[in-house]
């Protein structure tokens, strides 16, 4: 664990602190103040991204530090969208997700700026990674709702029940997960000459996509008759996503074409 | 009788749904297993005979599902997404090793599926190495001429300086730039950079110069000004980083990061140049049903390029499948359910 004594680092730490404060305040039933702090944390994280972008002179999605910084920023707009448009709660949990994803960016991952290798200099680089990040946040929210369902949570404020919310989040995240996979495949064809290379990262990405394919088919076949199984399936999906995002890049078990994304 | 027929029909529909779910779970498990064994072995596994049978069976199952299950046929998003999957699998089978073998045996052809070309600057080649270890080569119906190969680097290039106590400094290799490290270490001035560094004695003095006839030897000339004002000259070589003498307080290394590698090629057919292209990473040449990718280069002298050659058979079908899959997924899950607020009927 290393503390970053830089403007970038300070912005991230401030965002983490404000997200955490927002979480505590929301738990204390001060919803408006909590939301205001959540928004402030988002602004701090967004400034940290802008700072990074200016520093590295390319869209900051190259390594795990940048990816987690972006994830920590996306939490707020996705939370607002889900709450207002999709009628899905869990705003307090979203604040905590913001803390959890910003923590490794602040304390674990190396923030040394890197120049883009030739393979990453493609118009598909930004869309491919960004779409995946959006879907990962949505699937994380789905898993939170699923955990809430398993722990006996009930719907509040005319929002959807946790089981229905899980399903709706998966419905929102799955097309993006599909698009991320497809864009990655098209990029692989353009850069390396293979639209599918059987690389460990590709296979884990396929596995995570297939887990959600399985979830959607199972939910279609049985509806809400097995809510605990539906929820477990959604949580399993997030576990496979975490392996795809973290373990594949950090472990030496999976050397491959995506090794630069550390 | 009618009720029995209805029951039978329901049972077969349920069977297809279950079979689809089981096939999905099997593929999930094999994908995870494939990730553990590495890309090369995974490629062999997924192209093996049992898995070829699996791909065919899955494709047939999906087609059967589209035909038999009314939901898949009549709900636009589901139809598009599942048809997309069929096309991706179909395109993949066409472009696979087995697909090429079957096609070649039926059409009595000997098509190149994939391979590589090693071409020296100024030379023309029309053969593709299919298996470099076994020495198998196949001819192309046209030739590729490498007009020029070049590497481009990020600017400015960097000089890393490390002290004996572990301090490190990074300064840009820009001629004329002076950088004071600290009061104890003095100042470093970048004098000149070289691409093909050579030394020669002239009038009893050693002089460094760029030798246009020499091989690549990137280097940078530094003037070190110590805290006592004493000056010395230091040459730092990219290929020999960190070289120090016993009395040196500082260790230097010269770093250049490749921004791009580019092959300027011409396609020659019947002694005529029919196409020209600068092949870069992410910018392949597409000609005559083949794609040519910038795969590698001569890292010693930069005199030859390595191009990966692949056949584009099945690629269009896969891309069409991708479009349909994405269109179907967004249509059904976003506009029908998530935003359209419709729940899936049990």
pLDDT bucket at B345, cuts 50 / 70 / 90: very low
B146 and B290 share one domain: yes
Residue pLDDT, tens place only, B204-228 = 788 888 888 887 888 999 998 888 8
Rg of chain A over Cα atoms, rounded to whole angstroms, equals: 18
Residue pLDDT, tens place only, B232-242 = 888 899 887 76
Number of domains chain B is built from:
3
Which of A192, A220, A248 is the closest to B344 by Cβ?
A220
Residue pLDDT, tens place only, A167-192 = 999 999 999 999 999 999 999 999 98
For residue B257, which residues of chain A lie inside 8 Å, CB to CB?
A: 115
What is the domain extent for residue B291?
117-151+259-311
pLDDT bucket at A112, cuts 50 / 70 / 90: confident
Q: pLDDT value at position B41?
A: 93
B179 and B303 share one domain: no
Structure pTM?
0.89
| Cβ contact B281–A174 (<8 Å) | no
For residue A164, which residues of chain B lie inside 8 Å, CB to CB?
A: 343
B138 and B14 share one domain: no
B332 and B299 share one domain: no
Peptide bond into B156 cis (omega under 30): yes
For residue B326, which residues of chain A lie inside 8 Å, CB to CB?
A: 175, 178-179, 182
Residue of A142, A177, A182 to mutate when probing chain B, most B C-beta within 10 A: A182
B284 in reach of chain A (CB within 8 A):
yes
B94 and B57 share one domain: yes
B159 and B230 share one domain: yes
CA distance A91 to chain B (A): 19
Answer yes or no: is B318 within a domain. yes
Residue pLDDT, tens place only, B300-317 = 777 899 999 999 999 999
Q: pLDDT value at position B342?
A: 53
Q: What percent of chain A has pLDDT over 70?
A: 94
Buried b (16+ CB within 10 A) or exposed e, B226-259: eeeeeeeebbbbbeeeeeeeeeeebbbbbbbeee
For residue B115, which residues of chain A lie inside 8 Å, CB to CB?
A: none
Mean pLDDT (chain B) is 89
Q: Which two three-digit tokens encode residue B321?
A: 């499948």
Burial class (CB in 10 A: 0-12, 13-18, 19+), B70: exposed
Name which residue leads in pLDDT, A94 or B6.
A94
Q: How far apart are CA B26 and CA B13, in angstroms?
A: 20
B7 and B86 share one domain: yes
pLDDT at B181 over 50: yes
Closest residue, chain B, to A196 (C-alpha)? B92
Answer yes or no: is B63 within a domain. yes
For residue B319, which residues of chain A lie inside 8 Å, CB to CB?
A: 186
Answer yes or no: is B64 within a domain. yes
> Given B211, B237, B256, which residue is the final one in a domain?
B256
Q: Which two three-digit tokens encode residue B205?
A: 């003095």
Paired residues of A122 in beta bridges: none
Closest residue, chain B, to A200 (C-alpha)? B35
For residue B17, which residues of chain A lie inside 8 Å, CB to CB?
A: 217, 220-221
| Cβ contact B36–A186 (<8 Å) | no
The region that residue B271 occupies, defined by phi over 0 for left and psi between -120 and 50 for alpha, beta otherwise, is: left
Q: How far apart are CA A18 and CA A40, in angstroms?
A: 7
Cβ-Cβ contacts under 8 Å between A and B: the total is 135
B185 and B266 share one domain: no
B136 and B278 share one domain: yes
pLDDT bucket at A247, cuts 50 / 70 / 90: confident
Answer yes or no: is B203 within a domain. no
Answer yes or no: is B134 within a domain. yes
Q: Where are any strands of DSSP class E within chain B?
A: 114-120, 124-131, 136-153, 158-163, 168-172, 178-182, 186-194, 197-202, 205-210, 219-225, 231-237, 250-255, 258-269, 272-280, 285-287, 290-297, 304-311
Residue pLDDT, tens place only, B86-136 = 999 999 999 998 889 888 899 888 889 999 999 999 999 999 999 888 888
CA distance A200 to chain B (A): 4
Paired residues of B160 in beta bridges: B170, B253
Q: How far apart are CA B181 and CA B186, in angstroms?
A: 6
B224 and B265 share one domain: no
Closest residue, chain A, to B256 (C-alpha)? A115
CA distance B152 to chain A (A): 10
For residue B62, which residues of chain A lie inside 8 Å, CB to CB?
A: none
Residue B337 DSSP class:
I
Q: pLDDT value at position A217?
A: 95
B183 and B224 share one domain: yes
pLDDT at A255 over 70: no
Q: How far apart are CA B35 and CA A253, in angstroms?
A: 9
pLDDT bucket at B244, cuts 50 / 70 / 90: low
Q: pLDDT value at position A230?
A: 94
Helices (H), B70-189: 70-74, 76-95, 97-107
| Cβ contact B35–A254 (<8 Å) | yes
Q: How far apart are CA A108 and CA A249, in angstroms?
A: 14
**Mean pLDDT value of segment B245-255:** 81
| Cβ contact B284–A185 (<8 Å) | no
Contact residues, B window 301-320, toward A, CB-based 8 Å cutoff: 308-310, 315, 318-319
Answer yes or no: is B213 within a domain. no
pLDDT at A106 over 80: yes
B38 in reach of chain A (CB within 8 A):
yes
CA distance A18 to chain B (A): 31
Which of A171, A192, A204 is the closest to B293 by Cβ?
A192
Answer yes or no: is B58 within a domain. yes
Mean pLDDT (chain A) is 92
Burial class (CB in 10 A: 0-12, 13-18, 19+), A53: middle
Paired residues of B200 in beta bridges: B207
B18 in reach of chain A (CB within 8 A):
yes
Residue pLDDT, tens place only, B259-285 = 998 999 999 999 999 999 999 999 999
Q: pLDDT value at position A152?
A: 82
Q: How far apart are CA B114 and CA B95, in angstroms?
A: 10
Q: pLDDT value at position B195?
A: 87
| 3-state SS assignment for residue B122 | coil
For residue A82, which residues of chain B lie inside 8 Å, CB to CB?
A: none
Q: Which residues contact A180 (CB under 8 A, 6 or more apart)?
A: A128, A129, A131, A132, A135, A205
B325 in reach of chain A (CB within 8 A):
yes
Q: Which CA distances in Å does B273 have to B43, B102, B124?
A: 37, 34, 11
CA distance B259 to chain A (A): 6
Q: pLDDT value at position A261?
A: 53
Residue pLDDT, tens place only, A30-85 = 999 999 999 999 999 999 999 999 999 999 999 999 999 999 999 999 999 999 98
CA distance A220 to chain B (A): 6
**Mean pLDDT value of segment A87-93:** 90
| Cβ contact B326–A175 (<8 Å) | yes
Which of A182, A190, A217 is the closest to B21 by Cβ?
A217
Contact residues, B window 208-247, toward A, CB-based 8 Å cutoff: none
Closest-CA residue to A147 (of A41, A228, A250): A228
Closest-CA residue to A166 (of B337, B133, B340): B337
B329 in reach of chain A (CB within 8 A):
yes
Which of A175, A204, A214 is the closest to B35 by Cβ?
A204
Closest residue, chain A, to B291 (C-alpha)? A193
Residue pLDDT, tens place only, A138-163 = 999 999 999 999 998 676 665 788 99
B293 in reach of chain A (CB within 8 A):
yes
Answer yes or no: is B181 within a domain. yes
B160 and B23 share one domain: no
């Amino acid at each position: 664990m290393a503390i970053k004594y830089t403007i970038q680092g300070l912005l991230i730490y401030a965002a983490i602190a404000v997200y955490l404060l927002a979480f505590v305040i929301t738990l204390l039933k001060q919803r408006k103040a909590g939301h205001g702090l959540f928004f402030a944390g988002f602004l701090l994280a967004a400034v940290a991204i802008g700072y990074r972008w200016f520093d590295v002179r390319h869209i900051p999605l190259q390594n795990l530090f940048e990816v987690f910084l972006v994830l920590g920023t996306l939490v707020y707009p996705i939370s607002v969208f889900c709450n207002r448009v999709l009628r899905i709660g869990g705003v307090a949990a979203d604040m905590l997700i913001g803390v959890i994803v910003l923590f490794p960016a602040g304390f674990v991952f190396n923030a040394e700026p890197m120049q883009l290798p030739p393979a990453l200099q493609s118009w598909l680089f930004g869309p491919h990674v960004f779409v995946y990040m959006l879907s990962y946040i949505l699937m994380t929210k789905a898993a939170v709702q699923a955990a809430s369902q398993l722990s006996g949570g009930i719907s509040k404020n005319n929002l959807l029940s946790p089981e229905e919310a899980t399903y709706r989040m998966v419905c929102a995240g799955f097309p993006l997960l599909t698009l991320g996979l497809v864009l990655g495949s098209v990029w692989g064809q353009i850069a390396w000459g293979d639209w599918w290379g059987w690389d460990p990262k590709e296979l884990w990405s396929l596995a995570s996509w297939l887990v959600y394919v399985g979830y959607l088919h199972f939910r279609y076949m049985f509806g809400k008759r097995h809510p605990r199984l539906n929820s477990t399936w959604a949580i399993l999906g997030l576990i496979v996503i975490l392996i795809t995002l973290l373990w594949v890049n950090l472990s030496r078990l999976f050397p491959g074409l995506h090794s630069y994304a550390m | 009788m009618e009720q029995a027929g209805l029951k039978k029909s329901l049972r077969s529909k349920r069977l297809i749904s279950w079979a689809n779910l089981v096939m999905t779970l099997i593929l999930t498990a094999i994908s995870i297993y494939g990730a553990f064994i590495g890309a090369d072995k995974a490629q062999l596994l997924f192209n093996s005979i049992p898995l070829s049978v699996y791909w065919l069976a899955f494709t047939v199952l999906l087609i059967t599902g589209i035909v038999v299950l009314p939901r898949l046929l009549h709900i636009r998003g589901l139809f598009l997404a599942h048809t997309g999957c069929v096309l991706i699998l179909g395109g993949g089978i066409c472009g696979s090793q087995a697909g090429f073998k079957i096609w070649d045996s039926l059409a009595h052809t000997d098509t190149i599926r994939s391979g590589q070309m090693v071409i020296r600057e100024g030379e023309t080649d029309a053969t593709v190495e299919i298996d470099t270890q076994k020495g198998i080569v196949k001819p192309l119906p046209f030739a590729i001429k490498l007009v020029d190969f070049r590497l481009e680097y990020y600017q400015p290039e960097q000089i890393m300086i490390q002290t004996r106590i572990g301090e490190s400094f990074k300064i840009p290799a820009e001629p004329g730039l002076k950088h004071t490290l600290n009061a104890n270490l003095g100042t470093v001035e970048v004098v000149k950079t070289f691409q093909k560094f050579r030394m020669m004695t002239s009038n009893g003095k050693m002089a460094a110069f760029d030798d246009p006839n020499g091989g690549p030897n990137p280097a940078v000339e530094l003037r070190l000004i110590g805290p006592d004002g004493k000056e010395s000259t230091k040459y730092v070589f990219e290929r020999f980083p960190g070289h120090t003498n016993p009395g040196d307080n500082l260790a230097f290394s010269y770093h250049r990061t490749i921004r791009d590698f580019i092959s300027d090629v011409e396609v020659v057919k019947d002694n005529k140049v029919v196409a020209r292209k600068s092949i870069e990473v992410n910018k392949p040449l597409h000609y005559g049903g083949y794609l040519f990718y910038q795969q590698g280069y001569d890292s010693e002298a930069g005199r030859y390029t390595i191009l990966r050659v692949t056949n584009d058979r099945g690629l269009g079908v896969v891309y069409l499948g991708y479009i349909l899959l994405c269109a179907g997924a967004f249509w059904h899950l976003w506009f029908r359910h998530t935003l359209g607020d419709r729940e899936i009927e049990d």
